[in-house]
Every structure is written in C-alpha cells, then in structure tokens.
Amino acid sequence: MVEVSSTIHPDGQSVELLLNMGPQHPSTHGVFRMVLWIDGEKILGVEPHIGYLHRGSEKICEGEQYHQIITLFDRLDYVANFNNELVYCQAVEKLMGLTVPERAEYVRVILCELNRIASHLLYVGTIGLDAGAMTPTMFAFRGRERVQALFEAVSGARMMHNYFRIGGLKEDLPDNFEQMIRELLPLLAEDIEESDKIITFNEIFISRTKDVGVISAEEAIDYGLTGPCLRGCGYEYDVRKAEPYSVYDRFDFEVPVGLDGDCWDRHWVRVQEMYQSMHIIEQALEQMPEGPVTSSLGRRLIRPPAGEVYVRAENPRGEIGVYLVSQGTDKPYRLKVRPPSFCNLSALKRLLKDAWVADSVVILGSLDIVLGEVDR
Amino acid sequence: MPSVGRLIVPEEVWPVLNSVKGLMITLASTVKGLRKPITQQYPTVPTPVKPRFMGFPALTWDDKVPEPFCTGCMVCIRNCPTQCMSATMKDNPAQAEGTSSRRKIIDFFEINLNRCILCGICVEVCNFDAIVMSHEHEMSTYQRNGDRVDLPALLQVGRKYQEKTGWIPPTVLAKQKKDAEDAAQAGQEPAGAVVTEAVVAEPAVAEDKAESD
Ligand code: SF4
Ligand code: SF4
C-alpha cells in the first residue's frame, strides 16, 4: 500500500488518508485497484477502479464467427471455463432451436459441476490467504489440480478447454473417463472435506469473517448480487432450481443458504455447494446414457436466424447472462454478457463503508471476483 | 464441546482452546500430507502430458509419398480466431510424376506461435489430416519473432509428435472404426439365423483388412 495524500481532519486531531491499493496488490485477486479513504483504521469511503484487464471481448465477438467465440468465453471467467462455454453454447442453441444429444448434456453437467468445485476450491484457498492462513491454499490447490488433470485428459487443456460446441461437444469423453472419475471422486471428496475442516470452523477464521461485511437480502437484491453472495444472505435463489437449464431438473440437490449475509456465511455456502456438486456428479454419472455427443450440424458454418435471445445460467460466482443479437449472418450483431463478478463487485462500496482496513481484503475475497470477467 | 468443560473453564479461555483445536486439525492434516508428496518437480522432472493434450500446432508428414499432408487449402487459416497463420500453395510436382494424389501442395506456411491460443480449431476444420496439436509446449525464445515458425520447423515438430504417439490420420482411424462397426453388424445380423462357420470367419477377415489399411 502506498500513501497518496493526506488531509487534516476538521477537528485538527486525526488525519484522513487516501490509500491506494492495487492494481498489483496480491490480495486483489487480479488487477483491481481500490482507493481507500481512511480515518485511522476505519474506511470512510472507497473508489474501485476496474478496467485493467479490459480486452474488449464483447466487441471482438462481433468480428468472430460463432464457433470461434467459444474461445473468448473461456477467457472471461478463467476459473470456471466450462460454465462459461455452456452458457454461450446454450444461447446459440436457443436461437437456432437446436436440441443437444442427451449424452452431451450429461457430460456438460458433469464437467460444469467439476469446474464449480475447482473454482470454489480456489476460493477456499484464497480466502484463507486473505484471512492470513497459508495452509488451506496448499490443500485447496491440490484438489483443484486433480480436477484440472481430468480436464486435461478430457479436453486437452487445463484451463482454456474449447471443448463444448454449439449443439454438443467437440468429441466424446476418453475411453478411460469412467475409471478416471471414479478414482477422482473419493480423492476430491477428501480434499473438500479437508479444506472445509481446516478453515470453516477455525476459531481465528470465524473471528475474522463472522459479522464482517454484512449485507441484508433486500439490499443484496437491490445491488444485483447473485450466486453465493446472495444465498449467503439467506435468500434461496439458484438459476439451476429457479429456471432449470440443461438437464439440471433431473437431479436431486439442495441449495444451501446462509443466515446473516456476512463473509463467513458466503464462505459456508460455497463449501456446502461443493458437497452438492459432488452429489450432482454422482447422479449424473449414474444416469448418463450412451449415444452421440455431436449435433446434426456437423461442421457446417453456423448461421442462426435473425433474432435475439437472452440465456442465463448459474456460474460458481453467480448468475451469468448472455444477450445475443443475430442478423442471420455468420457473426453475431451484438453480444452482451452479464458477468456475475462485475455485479457482485458493485456492492463493494457499500460493504467496505465503515469497515476496518484489515477487513477490506477479506470482504473483497468473500465476493470471489475474477477480474477477467469484471473487465471482459 | 462438552458442557462440563464450559463450567470449569472460564468463557474467555474458549477462543484460545478453539484456536489450539484448529492448530491440531492443521497439524493432523500436515502429518497426513507428509506421507506422499504430490508436488511435481516440474522444470527438473518433466511433467507427462495427457494423450489429448493440446500443445502448439504442427504439420504432419505423409511417409507413403513422402510429402506433407497439407495442400495449402487455407481452411484453417480462415477459421483461426487469432489470424496467426499464413500459407501459400503450389502445383505438386509429385503429382505430375504420378507418385502423389495431391494436385496442390503447401509451399510456404508460417504460424506465429506467440499469437496462437492453442484452441485446436485449425485441427478440427482441416480436411486433409494435415495439422495436429502437438505435445510441444516449451517453445519460448529470447527473440521477439523467435516463435514465428515456418514449414520445415512445423514439419519437424509434427514428425516428433507422429513418432512419439504413433499417429494415425483421423480419417483413416474413422474409416477403420466404421469398417469394424460394419463388420460387427454383418456378424450380428445373421446371429438370429443359423450361424455357420463362414459367417463367423468373415468379420475377422474384414477386421484384419481394416487394420492393415
Ligand atoms: S493444414 Fe489443412 S486446412 Fe490448413 S492449409 Fe493445410 S490442408 Fe488446408
Ligand atoms: S490452435 Fe487456434 S489459434 Fe492456434 S493456429 Fe490453430 S486455430 Fe489458430
């Protein structure tokens, strides 16, 4: 942190400081900058600055063909790539009225839920760092690495998969997938449990996060919070339940909700979600049928009919929406993304008001933002 | 927490005890973790990649003719999301001699690997099995243009990949699979009828042929 300037408070006693935090601060989860206006240890106001990772993804989409855009969605929320690919593919499929083969839907769900676990594991690791605990990071990353090894075996890349296709998948799962995932699941369950045990009910962690960054459900809705940030306030809203997409209506799972809307509740909701995801994966593995995974489209150029469509899905960070306008050409006319991280970040000003400086990092961490998605 | 403990130990001490408990949990996990290290000593010990791993794209070599598979048709170039490739084609002299069935052949091919995002779209759209996602991924150089690789370099990387993985052209693979399926069906259909030895022997022959293809 670097001091920018200071002014003497009107009472002549205390000094108000303007503190610059970021964009290269290790706790801001990417290139995010906040200017904190503090009085002693208390935050009087905060000015978030975003845009350091702006790549103009939405504008690039207008110049790319439909099948090339999948690669751009990989790079929005780079911690939950499969979930992003899914929502984009669904948008184009809805516009074209395509039905996806059953097996492809199940594979998509399995991979998305694995990705949700990987993403939440990363969160558990980083919130530990933000609260001053080093160990959980190591355990969380070990679990995440296992998931990513599976992703590499399935799609050929650890992070930028480009595996989902409009109307299906790139190719079927590898032959030994069943064996790989059966080996992975118990290990992953162990990892989740371990990182949960090590941090969630830790006395120090609780005192760092309980009653910190409290927001009520009404306010959270006003700010447009979604995902674990909203459910942490006790409001049960999950797109997978509220408006089931893909084959999510065939699974039995619960939507964990918190009580007070503080940092700890948001943490707890994420940890519980990992258990639920494991549950979904097990059901999906049992129900998964055999069959084709690619659509009838083949390799034809994709030209959806003119029209517009809005599709939403539940990402690990909240509700992601894709608004797509087509004019019947091979490139979209306009593509707008409603990124969950960006909307969740909008509550930062309200959450940091009157908080302590030491808590600012925990509060930011509990929102679990990914800057690739905030700046697009 | 036992309620008896709450009576004996004063309230203020509980956070301390809980912290100690947290420490014990962490310690237990650490000890558990000590049994088998999972850290990979990456730069000293190379990490093996998965069969489907997508490294930098490379061009393949047709040993039968011998010449590159690539005809310079530019399909991959038009489909690349980052426009990082360029190519030109020429008339194939080997075709005039009658040794090759390719009328056109690649003359110049360049991929700027610094721009490549390893998406694999080029491999997907190529109709001639000419391009593969190799397993090569450590290709940084100290020169700014050091990763603009040309045809010989691409073929060399491709050759390495072909040798390492025993690469079979995907279209040949698909044909083999289809043949095997057809053979299996041909074997199954008369299963309801009287099974004669001739019918059973037939698919085996078909399979052999598919493999020798
Ligand atoms: S690699 Fe394939 S698609 Fe690309 S120019 Fe060569 S033959 Fe055409
Ligand atoms: S992998 Fe993707 S970015 Fe790289 S050359 Fe092929 S199409 Fe272009």
pLDDT of residue B205: 36
What whole-number distance in Å separates Cα of residue B78 and Cα of residue B121? 10
Pair B114, B80 in one domain: yes
Bridge partners (DSSP) listed for residue A314: A319
pLDDT tens profile A12-36 = 566 778 888 877 776 667 788 888 8
Pair B20, B97 in one domain: no
Candidates B30, B52, B81; nearest CB to A174: B52
Bridge partners (DSSP) listed for residue A315: A318
Residue B177 lies in a domain: no
| B66 prior amide bond cis, ω within 30 | yes
Number of domains in chain B: 2
Q: Which of residues 20-79 of B touch A (CB under 8 A)?
A: 21-22, 25-26, 29-30, 33, 38, 49-54, 79
Complex-level ipTM: 0.76
Pair B31, B62 in one domain: no
Residue B46 lies in a domain: no
The residue-averaged pLDDT of A341-370 equals 87
**Ligand 2 binding pocket includes B119 (Cβ within 6 Å):** yes
The Cβ-side half-sphere exposure at A5, using a 13 Å CA radius, reads 1
CA dihedral B128, B129, B131, B135 (to 10 degrees): 180
**The pLDDT of residue B1 is above 70:** no
Q: At what angle do helices A177-199 and A102-131 cross, to 10 degrees?
A: 30
Pair B106, B13 in one domain: no
Three-state DSSP state, A272: helix
Pair B104, B166 in one domain: yes
Model confidence at B75, pLDDT cuts 50, 70, 90, reads confident
Pair B150, B89 in one domain: yes
Residue B203 lies in a domain: no
**The pLDDT of residue A159 is above 80:** yes
Note whether A37 and A48 are within 8 A (CB): no
pLDDT of residue A6: 54
Note whether A132 and A196 are within 8 A (CB): no
Provide the domain limits for residue B23.
3-35
Residue with tokens 């190529």: B126
pLDDT of residue A10: 59
| Strand A33-39 relative to strand A15-21, pairing | antiparallel
**The pLDDT of residue A173 is above 50:** yes
Pair B20, B84 in one domain: no
Residue B157 lies in a domain: yes
Return the closest-CA partner of residue A160 out of A223, A102, A87, A79: A79
Q: What is the mean pLDDT of chain B?
A: 77
Pair B66, B158 in one domain: yes
Chain B CB contacts of A65 below 8 Å: 79
Pair B73, B134 in one domain: yes
pLDDT tens profile A181-228 = 888 888 888 888 888 888 888 778 888 888 888 888 888 899 888 888
Domains of chain A: 57-375 (1.10.645.10)
Pair B91, B29 in one domain: no
Contacts of B18 (CB under 8 A, 6+ apart): A203
The residue-averaged pLDDT of A332-351 equals 89
Residue finishing a domain among B170, B185, B201: B170
B133 touches chain A (CB under 8 A): yes
Percentage of chain B beyond pLDDT 70 is 81
Model confidence at A114, pLDDT cuts 50, 70, 90, reads very high
The residue contributing the CA closest to ligand 1 atom 7 is B70
Pair B20, B113 in one domain: no
Three-state DSSP state, B149: strand
pLDDT tens profile B38-64 = 778 888 888 888 888 888 888 888 887
CB contact under 8 A, A198 and B29: yes
pLDDT of residue A323: 92
CATH code of the domain covering residue B157? 3.30.70.3270
Model confidence at A1, pLDDT cuts 50, 70, 90, reads very low
What whole-number distance in Å separates Cα of residue B40 and Cα of residue B42? 5
- The distance from CA B191 to its chain's CA centroid, rounded to whole angstroms, is 39
pLDDT of residue B8: 66
Pair B78, B164 in one domain: yes
Model confidence at A9, pLDDT cuts 50, 70, 90, reads low
Residue B211 lies in a domain: no
Q: What is the pTM of this model?
A: 0.83
Model confidence at B201, pLDDT cuts 50, 70, 90, reads very low
Name which residue leads in pLDDT, A87 or B191: A87
pLDDT of residue A361: 87
Percentage of chain A beyond pLDDT 90 is 9
Residue B132 lies in a domain: yes
Residue B204 lies in a domain: no
Residue B200 lies in a domain: no
